[in-house]
């Protein structure tokens, strides 16, 4: 799974217990409750959620109405991914302890983690006017609205927040930037961020320089085709990967491995077409150093990208592409980051185009027929794909689609839909919850290639995944850490080992993802 670090990323919230001063007449039992709540809070802060839950439950058995312990129990349950249990505690607690807005916020967290975005927004809306929670509530609600394609509503909400909140937080200003993409506004917000968060002034100056390089008007300005639907050609491109540091089992001697990527011809700044990987798992345009050199692009500021792999965050630079042309579609003023890749891996491929760049359209991604269809947003997928089309529940974070699956009988297990990954991965953070065990004795040590270098993986046998009406049995599947995805519990990513079975439909504006089985 790829995640580009950019200005719209929000800091993770860590809930802590507010200090409470007991007066000299407080009863010992009250002191015990506060002490045990502090113990649970400390354990949760260290990621020891099971122990924190046990610590809270020890006293809650005798004192079930302690708000301090209930608050920490919800924190622990959220940390364990037991979101429905957290919701069933937080909702009544919010009604009972009206002086504790934290319960309403926690209820929204639990709902959002399960993909229940409208419910989460309703919980947070009651906190907009709260001096302590308003910034975070506005920010979280906007994230939830964007996740279900309601970007215009999120934009209005951000306008309301800046008009009402005298001291907006860093997170709120960053979310404002996600919904307002004009260069003039971007420069003003970047300057404001540098003032209120001087510790990260260099990052905001880098951001300001990106907006300044665009000059005026919006970033990623779409010039649509004259007529829809329009078609852009797709191709399969072989990749030659140096496998000298990668293994499959203990006795592997392979030195080279080949795989294929789905690529699309793209022209930049009016030049000749280049092949770019069309990727639903990336949230930014990435270009190769060779393309930067050929187009004589000048870095406008520093950047950083991160993806799966042991090297972690990689330093980079922003460049500005005046025009990006796919078929009859043109996008203007596109920021792109320079990706550091071995030349053998990127031979004949010039970078990555994320589908988020095409979010104004409904997209028919048909690898087998070699076409990407651009349709008006709101088009019914079955009209383009025909009988047998099925829609799945979806959410969008960073312009990337996450779809609800069932893994080993666990429903609503959201996974990133990643057309740029050749592999399907189960999140190692979720294997215990899913009842999945690694077969280390059979497969030994494994490594695969990620965006930021090789990554260590385990392998599990006989995992069953349900995707809508499709039942997919995977005799062996990779397991690796996938990290957090804003407010959503992520169970893995679906790569081409699963996705190549289907033609796919993406419509961000209507929050629609659909599939149709290829004929066998």
Per-residue pLDDT of the chain (520 residues; tens, 9 = 90+): 443 333 332 222 222 222 232 333 334 445 677 888 899 999 999 989 999 999 999 989 888 889 999 999 999 999 988 999 999 999 999 999 999 999 999 999 999 999 899 999 999 999 999 999 999 999 999 999 999 999 999 999 999 999 999 999 999 999 999 898 899 999 999 999 999 999 999 999 999 999 999 988 899 999 999 999 999 999 987 655 443 433 333 333 333 344 678 999 999 999 999 999 999 999 889 999 999 999 999 999 987 766 543 345 678 899 999 999 999 999 999 999 998 766 455 678 899 999 999 999 999 999 999 999 999 999 999 999 999 999 999 999 989 999 999 999 999 999 999 998 888 999 988 998 899 988 765 545 554 544 444 445 788 899 999 999 899 999 989 898 887 788 888 999 999 999 999 999 999 999 999 999 998 6
Q: What is the 3-state secondary structure (H, E, C) of 475-487?
A: EEEEEECCCCECC
CA distance 212 to 339: 22
CA distance 517 to 390: 9
CB–CB of 204/190 below 8 Å? Answer: yes
Cis peptide leading into residue 229 (ω within 30°): yes
What pTM value is reported for the model?
0.85
- Domain 222-376: give its CATH architecture: Beta Barrel (2.40)
- How far apart are alpha carbons 114 and 116 in whole angstroms? 6
Calculate the alpha carbon distances from 181 to 85, 167, 185, 425 in Å. 39, 22, 7, 33
Strand bridging mode 470-480 / 425-427? parallel
Helix (H) or strand (E) holding 463: strand 453-467
What is the Rg, in whole angstroms, of the alpha carbon atoms belonging to the chain?
24
Token pair of 284, please? Answer: 């930014």
Is there a contact between 68 and 78 (Cβ–Cβ < 8 Å)? no
Q: Strand 453-467 to strand 410-417: parallel, antiparallel, or no bridges (unpaired)?
A: unpaired
> Which of 365, 363, 387, 366 has its CA nearest to residue 376?
363
């Amino acid at each position: 799974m790829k995640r580009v670090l950019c200005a719209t990323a929000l800091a993770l919230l860590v809930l802590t217990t507010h200090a409470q001063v007991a007066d000299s007449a407080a009863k010992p039992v009250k002191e015990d409750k506060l002490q045990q709540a502090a113990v649970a809070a400390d354990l949760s802060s260290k990621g020891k959620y099971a122990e924190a839950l046990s610590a809270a439950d020890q006293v809650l058995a005798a004192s079930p109405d302690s708000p301090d312990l209930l608050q920490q129990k919800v924190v622990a349950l959220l940390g364990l991914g037991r979101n429905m249990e957290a919701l069933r505690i937080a909702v009544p607690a919010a009604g009972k302890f009206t002086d504790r807005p934290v319960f309403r916020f926690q209820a929204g967290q639990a709902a959002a983690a399960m993909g229940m975005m409208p419910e989460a927004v309703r919980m947070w809306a009651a906190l907009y006017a709260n001096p302590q929670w308003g910034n975070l509530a506005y920010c979280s609600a906007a994230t939830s609205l964007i996740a279900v394609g309601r970007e215009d509503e999120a934009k209005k909400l951000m306008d309301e927040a800046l008009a009402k909140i005298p001291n907006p937080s860093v997170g709120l200003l960053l979310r404002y930037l996600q919904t307002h993409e004009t260069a003039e506004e971007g420069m003003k917000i970047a300057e404001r961020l540098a003032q209120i968060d001087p510790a990260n002034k260099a990052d905001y100056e880098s951001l300001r320089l990106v907006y300044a390089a665009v000059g005026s008007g919006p970033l990623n300005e779409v010039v649509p085709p004259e007529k829809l639907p329009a078609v852009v050609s797709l191709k399969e491109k072989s990749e030659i990967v140096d496998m000298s540091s990668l293994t499959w089992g203990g006795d592997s001697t392979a030195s080279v491995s080949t795989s294929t990527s789905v690529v699309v011809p793209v022209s930049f700044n009016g030049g000749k077409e280049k092949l770019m990987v069309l990727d639903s798992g990336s949230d930014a345009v990435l270009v190769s150093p060779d393309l930067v050199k050929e187009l004589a692009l000048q870095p406008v500021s520093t950047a950083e990208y991160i993806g799966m792999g042991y090297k972690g965050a990689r330093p980079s630079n922003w460049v500005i592409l005046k025009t990006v042309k796919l078929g009859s579609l043109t996008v203007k003023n596109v920021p792109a980051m320079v990706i550091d890749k071995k030349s053998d891996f990127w031979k004949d491929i010039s970078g990555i185009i994320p589908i988020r760049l095409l979010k104004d359209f409904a997209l028919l991604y048909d690898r087998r027929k070699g076409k990407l269809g651009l349709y008006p947003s709101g088009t019914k997928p079955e009209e383009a794909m025909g009988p047998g089309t099925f829609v799945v529940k979806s959410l969008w974070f960073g312009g990337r689609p996450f779809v609800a699956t069932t893994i080993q009988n666990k429903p609503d297990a959201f996974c990133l839909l990643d057309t740029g990954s050749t592999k399907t991965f189960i999140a190692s953070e979720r294997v215990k919850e899913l009842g999945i065990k690694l077969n280390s004795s059979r497969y030994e040590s494994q490594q695969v290639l990620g965006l930021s270098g090789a990554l260590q993986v385990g392998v599990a046998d006989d995992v069953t995944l349900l995707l809508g009406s499709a039942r997919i049995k995977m005799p062996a599947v990779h397991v690796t850490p996938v990290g957090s995805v804003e407010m959503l519990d992520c169970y893995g990513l679906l790569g081409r080992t699963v996705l190549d079975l289907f033609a796919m439909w993406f419509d961000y504006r209507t929050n629609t993802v659909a599939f149709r089985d290829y004929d066998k």
